[in-house]
Structure 1
C-alpha cells in the first residue's frame, strides 16, 4: 500500500537527518506537508526535488498515473506548506506551473537529475504539473 510505503520513508527520513536508503539511496528527498483540500488535515509526502535559484522544485508526477497526486490538489487549495529538507524545517508557498516555457524548463531540469521523470511524462496523457516552493521569510 502506498501509504505504508510513504510512512516507512518518512520515518527513515526523520530518523536519519533526511537520508533514506533503498531506491532513494544517494538521492535527496524532501518531506512536503500540505493541508488536505477536503479534510483540512495535515498530509506528508516524500518527494524528489531540485533547486532552481531561490526555489525548490517538485513534480506532480504520481509516477505517470493518469491523475495528479493528492498533494497537488492540496497545494492548489492551500498553498502554504511545510517543507523538511535534511534537518531543516520551514514554511513555504507552493506555486503550480501547469504550462509554458518555465514549466517545460523546470521539468527538463528534473529529468536531467532523475531520468525516470521522462518515462512518467511518456506514460501519461496529462501534462505533469511542476510546483515551485518558495520559502516564507
Structure 2
C-alpha cells in the first residue's frame, strides 16, 4: 500500500465518534484531530484481512526515534482490535501524521522492545497501564517503520 493507492476506496471506522474524528483530521490535515485528549493522533490505514478493503482508523501514538508507536488496547477489551488483526495479516500500512502521508511497515514489538517501549506509551497515555491490568491478554505494542522516503524539509512529529 502506498500513497499511490489513493484511487482505491477507503472505509473509515464504523464507530461514530472515530469516523467523525477521521473526517475532521482529513479535512484539516490534522489541524483538527491531530490530538485526542491532548495526546498526538494519527490515521492508520490497513488492508482488511478478510475483505481486502482498505480500512482507516485514528489512533494515539508515541515515538521512538523515527518510528511511530501504537498500542492495540481496544479500550482494554479482551480481544485485539480489528486494525491490529489486519496489520498482523498484512503489515504494509499507510500513516497520516498531520498533512504528511507515507507508506510504512507495522510489526509487533519483541518482548525486549516492549519492556523498553511500554513505559514510553504509558507516559503518553497512562490509561494504557490500567487497560493492561484489566485484561488477561498482553496488549500488543506496535512499531510502525516508514518505508517511503521522507520528503525534504518534512517535519513529522
Q: Shift of residue 25 of structure 1? A: 4.4
Counterpart residue number, 2:5: none
- Determine if the alignment matches structure 1 residue 36 to structure 2 residue 48: yes
Q: Shift of residue 100 of structure 1? A: 1.6
Q: Shift of residue 54 of structure 1? A: 2.0
In the aligned structure 1, how far is the partner of 2:67 from the partner of 2:124? 16
Where structure 1 has 5 or more consecutive residues not aligned to the other structure, the ranges are none
- Determine if the alignment matches structure 1 residue 128 to structure 2 residue 142: no
Where structure 2 has 5 or more consecutive residues not aligned to the other structure, the ranges are 1-12, 149-157
Given that 2:93 and 2:103 are in contact with CA atoms closer than 8 Å, whether structure 1 keeps it comes out as yes
* CA RMSD of superposed structures (Å): 1.8
- Between structure 1 and structure 2, the one with the greater Rg is 2
Q: Shift of residue 119 of structure 1? A: 1.2
Counterpart residue number, 1:51: 63
In the aligned structure 2, how far is the partner of 1:47 from the partner of 1:17? 15
Counterpart residue number, 1:100: 111
Q: Report the 3-state secondary structure (helix = DSSP H, G, I; strand = E; otherwise coil) of the residue aligned with 1:124.
A: coil
Q: C-alpha offsets along residues 44-85 of structure 1, whole Å, 9 cap, x if unaligned?
A: 010010110121110111011001000011001111001000
Alignment TM-score, normalising by the size of structure 2: 0.80
**Aligned pairs (5 A) from 1:72-91:** 72-91=84-103
Question: Cα gap change, 1:25/1:15 in structure 2, threshold over 3 Å: closer, same or farther?
Answer: farther
